[in-house]
A and B are shown apart, each in its own frame.
Chain A
Amino acid sequence: MISFSHVAVVYDSHRVLHDISFKVEPGQFVFLVGQTGSGKTTLLRLISMDILPTKGIVTVGKYSSRGISPRELPFLRRTLGTVFQDFKLMGDRSVFDNVAFTLHVTGTKGTEIKKKVMHTLADVGLTHARNMRVQELSGGEQQRVAIARAFVHNPLVLLADEPTGNLDPGTSAEILQLLFDINTRGTAVIMATHNYELTRKAKQRILRLEEGGVRQVEKA
């Protein structure tokens, strides 16, 4: 479903990724690990085609980085859900409106939006905060709003960039469990993290970014 073939990314003559090849199948759960600056965010941005590879090809479903037109971009992105490292929430809107935005974009009916958003907010434990403005929430609460917005529309793939970055170990475990739950419902999840504790205990597939290349970590 997602495939990277000899992908390289160079930012202003600074090479971040080189010769990356891997595949992610529908419904898989993948940890993407690597030191800070190793290119995890860059790799996720390649999947949502926010940037295009300098070399090689990225394909996501029926879309290819070679042939995609600006017109097709929104439709590719609707098959994905992204939890951005910096959240990218709309700070001047309510929690409800932030999560509902993903559904408004696709022209979903109002009653359906309400139902889905309330379900999703219950899943992340933010029902009580639905009318609060995002600016008024704590970092951890904002993180959960970002997750809710990313999976409210049942995407094929959830891209989570450091979704436990701002959280204490207990809450981190809860979030991770939430991502596992979303995964069991059929959504493939790619989670970037440098929290080795989390990945060590898990039995999911791990991709490690090292010196611009990717290495599959085999579990014993």
Chain B
Amino acid sequence: MSISYTLRESFSGFRRAKISSLLSIITVCISLLLLGSFVAITVNAGRLVDALRARLEMEAFLVEPATEGEIDSLVTAVSSLRGVENVLFISKDDAVRIFKQEFGEDITTVLDFNPLPPSLKITLTPQYRTSTGTQEVYDRLVAMRGIESVVYRKALLELIDKRAAGLNKVMLTLGLIISLSAIFLVSNTIRLAIRAKQSLIQTMELVGATRGFIRLPFLLEGSVQGLCGGLLAAALLAGLLGYGARLVSAEFAPYLRMAPAFYGGLVCAGILLGFAGSIISVVRFVRPVAAH
């Protein structure tokens, strides 16, 4: 079988069946657009929630007075707790400076003395940034000698947990619906393609063409259609997300950006969809069946 013939056949497929080729490309594009926006939304919503959780630190106030040695061993002990990522010691003087930054007033001139206790700013590892995880670390901290009290934004954390769980449920349902619609869309186009090509394939077989000879141009044609659909979907989605990023505030814009790998994935998914679609449409060959 000659390669140039196969290539020529694959590409003349577009010329011969412009509408059906366009339909396949659009179908792949729409399916990927749905799937791609869904993935983009899910990934970015997750990133947004994670960023929010990362901001919620715990603060442990120390018993006064504390010697440098006591503080050092306390920092080491807290650092080695499971779930703790980072510990930052805030001395009484540091606390005054931070207070001034936040409220614009020097508390020592207002009160004549420094009422702010030294403290530890504790960041948790990502897995522990939930209300149960934080509670676990909280319980350990308050039990430690040298720690007076521990505060964190418990109510906010619980709210985030609840909303995130709800979001996951919605996304799971939505993902299922979108995947099913994509499969339905593509398989429907495939069924039409089968019907359109069945008699052509049958004729080719009767004239003595082998299966490989018949299939290869169709598979190539389908893959190229998938590639076109994938490229189109990637371009549209990139444009859409770019436009969206300009609409929201600068703080949220990064959450509408997707990695190049995502767009590469979309294009690959398109090729795969086109290839799989054409396989299904040509695999149903007519075998010699004995009249019974």
Residues of chain A at the chain B interface (Cβ within 8 Å): 9-12, 48-54, 68, 70, 73-78, 80, 82, 84, 88-90, 92-93, 101-102, 104-107, 110, 149
> Dominant SS at the B interface?
mixed
A77 x B206 contact (CB < 8 A):
yes
- Per the 8 Å Cβ criterion, residues 192-244 of B in contact with A are 199-200, 202-210, 213
State the interface size on chain B (CB cutoff 8 A). 24
- CB closest residue in chain A, given B5: A104
- CB closest residue in chain B, given A149: B207
B2 x A93 contact (CB < 8 A):
no
CA distance A80 to B205 in the complex (A): 12
- CB closest residue in chain A, given B2: A107
A82 x B206 contact (CB < 8 A):
yes
B288 x A50 contact (CB < 8 A):
yes
> Dominant SS at the A interface?
mixed
* Total cross-chain contacts (CB, 8 A): 71
Partner of A73, one of B202, B288, B290: B288
Known: A74-B210, A77-B207. 7 other contacts (CB 8 A): A10-B291, A49-B288, A53-B291, A77-B205, A77-B206, A84-B206, A149-B207
Residues of B close to A88: CB separation below 8 A: 199, 202-203, 206
User: C-beta contact mask, B140-159 vs A, less than 8 Å → 1, else 0?
Assistant: 00000000000000000000
A48 x B5 contact (CB < 8 A):
no
CA distance A200 to B164 in the complex (A): 89
Known A-B contacts A54-B290, A54-B291; A93 and B16 likewise in contact (beta carbons under 8 Å): yes
CA distance A16 to B207 in the complex (A): 25
Q: How far is the CB of B196 from chain A (nearest CB, A)?
A: 10
- CB closest residue in chain B, given A9: B291
